[in-house]
Structure 1
Amino acid sequence: MRLERITLINIKKHFGRLALLTLALTVVVATVVTLYTLSRLMHEDFQKKLDEYGSNMVIVPKIDDLPLSYDGVPLGSVALTDRHLTERDIKDLKTIKNKENLAVIAPKIIGTAQLKRREAIVVGVDFPKELKIKRWWKLRVGRKPKGGTDQILAGAGAAARHKLRVGQTLEIKGDKFTVAGILEEVGSPEDQPIYIDLKRAQKVFGRPGQLNLIEVSVWCYNCPINLIVGQASEKLPHAKVSAVRQVAETRDKVVTQFSIFAIVLSVVMASVGGLIIFTNMLAAVRERRHEIGIFRAVGFRRL
């Protein structure tokens, strides 16, 4: 009798156990590999989706101001320069090294106007881009405005303050506008403005081509946000480029927790697989002890 024959006989005798062990190991290995692959893909996809949800970089003009005080009493500050952003800055921003990481660029111009004898905050936006970057905006009534029109999208606070309704015609600095929709309340300063088309706002305020603010949604799944901020600052030396720390930190925290969960689950599955192998090997050794003793007793010396 040879060792190979003993092995074959043992396999036939314990075929069910061998099949179960093979199946268990296959499931464990397949689960770990699948979990790793899904974790990596979901990691990238989740970061993309999270980066698209709101802005994580803000660009404003640099303002040189002089703090004033009298006899130790602060009196505010006086701006020494009157700087502003322009639409040319958007073109320059799109030339940075990691320009493919710029998901959405949403420019804005901000001003005030008399509306029904009350002061109103008017924000000019590019509606398609603004609605893409502000995905939490929900319409209470009406419809979303289209870009390049005289339609208005009113925040919940502005609608209540000025008693606005859908279809109503308003006059802002001599130009006629129609209320297309009213947003649901979000509990932030975004409830207070009245949003109009960017080009119309620049015309109304007499500031063609000028901007007050640029919000940028950046994909940061393959590069740090600080790298994008640095590149943007080099292209726009007259502007202050800042990362929205809360968004960046939240993204990093959630993604890190998800990665830890995937690693822990993989370790658990690998441990289960190792325990299965150990248990079966221990059972096989115990069986072999009796068989080896019998074979040696009858003169089989190769064991």
Structure 2
Amino acid sequence: MWRRPARKLRKKSDKEQMRLERITLINIKKHFGRLALLTLALTVVVATVVTLYTLSRLMHEDFQKKLDEYGSNMVIVPKIDDLPLSYDGVPLGSVALTDRHLTERDIKDLKTIKNKENLAVIAPKIIGTAQLKRREAIVVGVDFPKELKIKRWWKLRVGRKPKGGTDQILAGAGAAARHKLRVGQTLEIKGDKFTVAGILEEVGSPEDQPIYIDLKRAQKVFGRPGQLNLIEVSVWCYNCPINLIVGQASEKLPHAKVSAVRQVAETRDKVVTQFSIFAIVLSVVMA
């Protein structure tokens, strides 16, 4: 007795469903152009948002890498109490005249830290003084290819940039003025002869004062083979904090003082944050 109504309800429900499907198909056929346009618009919006998000993320990572390569954001010096002498704002004192020093072995140890892939450029230096035209001069031995990569703001006023392993000099603007240097001039430093290859434009920092020579030649001139006073490191920080790298380096080099260049790190974080906000706003506006 109760089965018949159930069958009638099922049949009625089936008819209603068929009617709804038919109405839907009719509406689709009737408004096909509008529906197609709406579907296309939604597809374009979704594709645009996804594309812009992916592009902004890739640009964000690339931007951070490029920013990290511009200058050093980590400095390594020997552990010494008194450092009145400074180079590029980093206190060095009489490092070049004492037995406290870093070595080239420290660079190899530094490259074994857990996040070694984040070490973009390692620029070692040896620093000393020498008589130049009867006046005291600051002489900095550098690995020219790496130094020029980490000091991207260096611009030549005249001459050319030296290559590694040569007897050429790159003079800071202050040193050139103080010692009246000119390109092509031959100078004698502790008995070894060098030629002025280029003179840098003034940057308004302690970098203007030294003359720069090849690292190996400087070690030979100062009688300190394999020794270093300072290691500047450009660190990629796009996927890890600089303090993490500093901690790992300190563990590998317990005899050295490893410091993050705070001003560089803070400026980097500020610029990267502004870029991230800009990328998000751009994605929303474009979408």
TM-score range, shorter chain: 0.7 to 0.9
After TM superposition, the structure 1 stretch with the greater mean CA deviation from structure 2, 5-14 or 169-178, is 5-14
In 2 relative to 1, CA 29–147 (structure 1 residues): closer, same or farther, beyond 3 Å?
same
Question: CA distance change for structure 1 residues 75 and 180 in 2, over 3 Å: closer, same or farther?
Answer: closer
Structure-2-length-normalised TM-score: 0.84
Cα deviation per residue 1:161-210 (whole Å; 9 max; x = unaligned)? Answer: 21211111011111100011111222211111100001111111222221
Query: Alignment partner of 1:229: what SS?
Result: helix
Deviation (angstroms), 1:75: 19
In 2, distance between residues paired with 1:260 and 1:70?
A: 36
Q: Please, what is the CA RMSD of the aligned residues?
A: 5.0
- Residue 230 of structure 1 deviates from its aligned partner by 0.4
Q: Is 1:47 the counterpart of 2:49 in the alignment?
A: no
Maintained 8 Å contact 2:150/2:234: yes
% identical equivalent positions: 100
Question: CA separation of 1:70/1:181 partners in 2, compared to 1, >3 Å: closer, same or farther?
Answer: closer
In 2 relative to 1, CA 266–192 (structure 1 residues): closer, same or farther, beyond 3 Å?
same
Report if aligned partners of 1:107, 1:213 keep a CA contact under 8 Å in 2: yes
Distance 1:245 1:268, change over 3 A: same
Local SS of the residue matching 1:120: strand
Could you report, residue by residue, the CA deviation over 1:14-48 in whole angstroms, capped at 9, with x for unpaired residues? 34432332232122111110111112211211111
The separation in 2 between residues aligned to 1:49 and 1:11, in whole angstroms, is 52
- Displacement of 1:85 after TM fit? 1.0
Residues 63 and 81 of structure 1 are in contact (CA less than 8 Å); yes or no, is this contact kept in structure 2? no
Gaps of 5+ in 1: 271-303
**Do 1:51 and 1:220's aligned partners in 2 also have CA atoms closer than 8 Å?**
yes
Would the aligned equivalents of 1:66 and 1:80 in 2 still touch at CA under 8 Å? no
Does the Cα contact within 8 Å between 2:97 and 2:128 map onto a contact in 1? Answer: no
Deviation (angstroms), 1:70: 30
Q: Shift of the alpha carbon at 1:73?
A: 26
Q: Note closer, same or farther for the CA distance 1:78–1:25 as it changes in structure 2 (3 Å cut).
A: closer
Is contact 1:65-1:80 (8 Å) kept?
Answer: no
CA change 1:69–1:92 in 2 (3 A) is closer
- Give the deviation of 1:268 after TM superposition: 4.9
Deviations 1:108-129 (A, max 9, x none): 0111111112221111000011
Distance of 1:17 and 1:64 partners within structure 2:
78
Alpha-carbon offset, residue 4 of structure 1: 3.1
Shift of 1:260: 2.4
1:217 aligns with 2:234: yes
So what's the TM-score if we normalise by structure 1? 0.80
How much has 1:267 moved relative to structure 2?
4.4
Distance 1:36 1:12, change over 3 A: same
Q: Residues 36-71 of structure 1, C-alpha deviation per residue, up to 9 Å, x if partnerless?
A: 111221121111111111111000111135999999
Q: How many residues align?
A: 270
Counterpart of 1:56 in structure 2 is 73
